[in-house]
Amino acid sequence: MDNWVILGLQFTVSALASGLIFFEYVLPRLAKLSFESAVLPMLLVQAFRFTGFTLLVTGQSDPAIPQDALSQMAWGDYASAVTALLAAYAVWRQPRIAVPLIWLFVIVCVGDLLNVTRIIFEIDFFSYDIGSTWTFLMWFLPWVVISLFYILYRLFNKAPKVTE
Amino acid sequence: MDNWIILGIQTTVSTVAYALIFFWYVQPRIAKLPFETAVTPMLLVHLFRFAGFTLLVVGQTDPSVARSTLEAIAYGDMLATISALVAVLALRARSSFAVPLIWLFTIIGFADLANVGRLALDADLFNHYVGVMWLVAIAFFPVVIISHLYIVYRLLNKGSDDLEMRTATG
Q: What does the pLDDT look like over A58-101, one tens digit per residue?
A: 888 899 999 999 999 999 999 999 999 999 999 999 889 999 99
A130 vs B contacts (CB less than 8 Å): 59
Q: Which of B42, B53, B71, B77 should we substitute to test contact with A (largest number of A Cβ atoms within 10 Å)?
A: B53
Check if B90 contacts A (Cβ < 8 Å).
no
B47, A13: Cβ pair inside 8 Å?
yes
A21 vs B contacts (CB less than 8 Å): 44
Averaged pLDDT, B63-73: 94
Q: From the DSSP assignment, how many helices (H) and strands (E) are in chain B? A: 8, 0
Given this model, what pLDDT does residue A161 score? 75
Check if A68 contacts B (Cβ < 8 Å).
no
Which tens digit of pLDDT belongs to each residue from B103-143?
999 999 999 999 999 999 999 999 999 988 998 999 999 99
Q: Terminus-to-terminus CA distance in chain A, angstroms?
A: 51
> Sign of the C-alpha dihedral, residues B40, B42, B46, B48?
positive
B85 vs A contacts (CB less than 8 Å): 13, 16-17
Query: Which residue of chain B comes nearest to A2, CA vs CA?
Result: B57
How close, in Å, is residue A57 to chain B by CA atoms?
A: 15
Other CB atoms within 10 Å distance of the CB of residue B169:
6
Given this model, what pLDDT does residue B158 score? 72
Averaged pLDDT, B146-159: 91
Check if B136 contacts A (Cβ < 8 Å).
yes
A16, B85: Cβ pair inside 8 Å?
yes
A10, B136: Cβ pair inside 8 Å?
no
Q: Please name the residues in contact with B95: beta carbons below 8 A apart, sequence gap of 6 or more.
A: B101, B167
Query: Which residue of chain B comes nearest to A129, CA vs CA?
Result: B59
Query: Which residue of chain A comes nearest to B67, CA vs CA?
Result: A1
Average pLDDT of the residues of chain B: 91
Q: Report d(CA A158, CA A145) in Å as an integer.
A: 19
Residue B168: pLDDT band with limits 50, 70, 90: low
Given this model, what pLDDT does residue A100 score? 96
pLDDT value at B8 more than 70: yes
Would you state the torsion angle of the CA atoms of residues B11, B13, B14, B19, taken in this order, to the nearest 10 degrees?
Answer: 120
Average pLDDT of the residues of chain A: 93
Window from A118-127, B18-27, B79-88, B129-138 with minimum mean pLDDT: B129-138
Check if B56 contacts A (Cβ < 8 Å).
yes
pLDDT value at B162 more than 70: no
> Sign of the C-alpha dihedral, residues B89, B91, B96, B99?
positive
Check if B59 contacts A (Cβ < 8 Å).
yes
ipTM: 0.79
B85, A13: Cβ pair inside 8 Å?
yes
Which tens digit of pLDDT belongs to each residue from A96-116?
999 999 999 999 999 999 999
A:B CB pairs within 8 Å: 62
Residue B137 CA from chain centroid, whole number:
11
Residue B170: pLDDT band with limits 50, 70, 90: very low
Check if A128 contacts B (Cβ < 8 Å).
yes
3-state secondary structure of A13: helix
Residue B67: pLDDT band with limits 50, 70, 90: very high
Given this model, what pLDDT does residue B163 score? 56
